[in-house]
Structure 1
Amino acid sequence: MSYDELGLDTLGDEKTALFFLISDTNTTYNFLVALAFSTMFNMLCERADNKYGGRLPHHVRVLWDEAANTGQVPGLEKIVAVIRSREISLTLFYQAMSQCKALYKDNAETIMGNMDSIVFLGGREASTLKDISENWLGKATISMQTESRTRGQSESYGQNMQRLGRELLTTSEITTMPGNMCICQLRGLPPFYSPKYDLKKHPNYHQTAEYDKKKNAFRLETLFRHRPLRLKPEDEYTVYEIEETDAEEEADILNFDDMDSDDFA
């Protein structure tokens, strides 16, 4: 591109939707998305500090689906710790926690620790299941009652009550979690089991392509055909001057009002 048409630094100035669409089979240009995110966070933080006194006027929410496929963003562990004060939030989507650890190594724990909420939608990856069972959920106290009886010349009977700890949910129980359920961990609250929200019940579901693909599907060519040019007063523009002589000669040739009827004979 010969000029900037993304306006990454202005995303917090007004309500804006920006989509990055990448191939799910060809990873050649995936690094460009990671570069765009890194640039965007830096530019928005600088704009919030220098122009708006530390907070953007409109909240910028970043929904980063398939975050493992776009590569590593340098310094993400520091970015997630400071963007919330600038009115920016980040949601990372991973198939498994091991994807985040593979990309960011030791910094993955810092990234996860700066998240106010973590939602597990389901999966079978062993390290993720173990982490949820042992670190998220912890243990529950259960009562175990044992009975014993011996028979012989003198019969005896005994009963014993014990309190034990066990995982709130074992890895096998998490694996078999119903598809319509999820596990939520919110900052300051104990984890809880929750039904997933049915997107078909959302009031704007009728505007999605899933509801009506022919009517609602996004078409890039339509956007380019109808996209207006927006000029900003603070931007600089280059103005080109057209030679008037050339324009006048062309106008004379096309001016049929000055021609006599004999000229058409």
Structure 2
Amino acid sequence: TGFGDAGPDARQPGFDLTAYWSRSGLLASTRDAGAPPTVPVWGSGDYTTAIAIYAAITTALYHRERTGRGADVGTSLLATGVWATGTLVAGALAGGTPFELHDRNVPLNALTNPYRTADDRWFMLATSSAHWPALARAIDRPELQEDPRFADVDAFAQHAAALSELLDAAFRARPFAHWQDVLTRERITVGLIQTPEEAAQDPQLRENDVVVPLEGVEGLTETISNPVNLRGVPKVAARRAPELGEHNDEILTQLGFGPAEIAALRARGAIPGMTEAEAA
């Protein structure tokens, strides 16, 4: 559902944009300071909620195997949106201080911040003060290891704006390939901020069967696999989505309907598809 089974909004229509993103607090939190809310990736809340209902179904099947009793399963776009915003909503429930929107020029933590390189690529730096000596070496500023502004966690927080400015200048001096090489050798975590087109060509996706062959679609050879894996158990091959009513005859036959009954259902418009006369 959009908003759950109970409450004043239980029967209201919900989209991932309105229920998952907007109502949950997630959309208000995923923007930079001073920036208005934006429209997130279409369907991303739907995909996440699909995994939640899958978890409910598999849990119910396991429950049935253990107890012999079935279960009525469900979730909502709002529930999974609040779950995705869990650290912030849980903090609010505990009376925590309001979440501060990120400002990359004056960040709460300059060591977890996006930076731009000389070839105009953006990457996300995600490290900690424990890795500061390695980062200082990587940017060829080893003397910064002794800088009192970056002596401990409190000092890093106090001088985050200065460190962000310093790292901005350093990273703008070289292309991303250079930084990926030196930072990876120092075991400092970075991630190139890829476009969807770049992600589609990322070899890591194919090595791990995130992108898989697609059967039965002319001109389209690959698709995205679901993210649930049972190692050693192969997944069903990815195939195109069926046309409306494409498998009606097959399924109705399995349910015990005969050819005449199926034809009668189709003639009355109870199931989609053409009658044999229309097809002829």
User: Normalising by the residue count of structure 1, what TM-score does the alignment of the two structures yield?
Assistant: 0.28
Q: Give the number of the structure whose residues are more often helix, by fraction.
A: 2
